[in-house]
Amino acid sequence: MKIAVILGTRPEIIKMAPVIKELERKKADFFILHTGQHYSYELDEVFFEQLTLPRPEYNLDVGSGSHGEATGKMLIGIEKTLKEAKPDAVLVEGDTNSILAGALAAAKLGIRVGHVEAGLRSYDRTMPEEINRVLTDHISDYLFAPTPQAREILRGEGIPGEKIFITGNTIVDAVNQNLELSRSKADILDSLGLKPDGYFLVTLHRQENVDSRARFASILEGLKRVAAEFNMPVFYPVHPRSKKMMAEFGLGPGNIVLAEPVDFLAFLQLESRARLILTDSGGVQEEACILKVPCVTLRDNTERPETVAVGANIIAGSKAENIVRAVREMLKRERDWDNPFGDGRAAERVVATLEGKL
């Protein structure tokens, strides 16, 4: 049995890391195919180094481009590679263009596809990620649903129950495996002049937020008001898409503290010590919930409704006053919610299930 792990962006590297580690532990025959969607050191290589992952056997180096162009280049490169390497199954994770290209190329070649983190839905088809999720789920053979709710969504779309496996989310595995280690990065706070429980942590990079001047400006205004009202630094490691759009729109940070994206151990440390996290990231919503740090989501919807249901997250949208109100509300809440994303053994289940099927 030979498995191809196809990935291309920061969150896929982080969330696939426990699966790759499990494949290594079991001495499985596998290789990594990197599309090259993310290529900057701080979005890519740093995670391979820090999480001690094997280097990708193939890197397609597709780089950035429009959705169609980038996805098309990936499809061509992935098909060629799969024909050459002849894996029995392909594993993809999440909702990016890279995973849609990987799943589609494999499915057309009759290679079985396993989708890790299947069954998430924002029900917002204007998001590129929603299109990627829906299409990938519907061409996958093994759907690894993180929660019972995700399984029900898939069943509701007519996907047979025998294809769906509830595994938990591999982000719990990744947090458990790295939180201890991240404590060795405790000095990251000192070096940034931040005090435990004395700052807000922000990430913001979604196309729908940062590619619209009005929406991006309104969210930044909300963040500036939060910094002023609570008299605490708002620390924002900026994704390159957001950096580019801030420059293009001429948007200034005001009292928000901007930084380059940081490595995973440093980011876990920053998350776990934050007073509250504001984000539009999927993975960061989950991590905040797991780490019991209150979260305010800077979007109109979420495909992680479990975080809201347990009381760990509020969906604030993009209006400045709603962002401030959501922060006030979340700061009042007890941090006593349960983690809905599993026991940290998702990767084990994914690999065992796949082995049992091939």
Binding site for ligand UDP (CB under 6 A): 10-11, 14, 203, 237, 261-262, 264, 267, 281-284, 287
Looking at beta carbons only, is 284 or 295 nearer to ligand UDP?
Answer: 284
Find out whether 129 and 95 touch, Cβ atoms under 8 Å: yes
CB of 138 to ligand UD1, least distance (A): 18
E-assigned strand segments in the chain: 2-7, 29-34, 58-59, 89-93, 112-116, 142-145, 164-166, 200-203, 234-237, 256-259, 276-279, 295-297, 313-315
218 interacts with, out of ligand UDP, ligand UD1, none, CB within 5 to 8 A per kind = none
Residue 203 binds what, of ligand UD1, ligand UDP, none (CB under 5 to 8 Å, by partner type)? ligand UDP
Give whichever of 74 and 351 is closer to ligand UD1, judged by the CB atom.
74
Q: Is 23:35 a contact under the CB 8 Å cutoff?
A: no
Instruction: Residue 245: name its binding partner from ligand UD1, ligand UDP, none (Cβ under 5 to 8 Å by kind).
Output: none
What's the min distance (Å) between Cβ of 219 and ligand UD1?
15
List strand residue ranges (DSSP E) for 187-233, in order: 200-203
User: 34, 38, 205, 239: which one is catalytic?
Assistant: 205
Is 138 marked active-site?
no
Of 127 and 324, which has the nearer Cβ to ligand UD1? 127
For residue 264, the partner it binds in ligand UD1, ligand UDP, none, with Cβ less than 5 to 8 A by kind, is ligand UDP
The residues that touch ligand UD1, with contacts defined as CB under 6 A, are 9-11, 37-40, 43-44, 64, 95-97, 128-129, 205, 239-241, 244
What token pair was written down for 198?
């004395």
178 or 218: whose CB is closer to ligand UDP? 178
Do residues 323 and 219 lie in contact, with contact meaning Cβ atoms separated by under 8 Å? yes
CA distance 220 to 262: 20
Per-residue buried b or exposed e for 113-137, using 16+ beta carbons within 10 Å of the residue's own CB: bbbbbbbbbbeeeebbbbebbbbbb
**Taking the complex as a whole, how short is the minimal distance between the CB of residue 65 and ligand UD1, in angstroms?**
7
Cα–Cα dist 279/301, whole Å: 12
Active site amino acids: 205
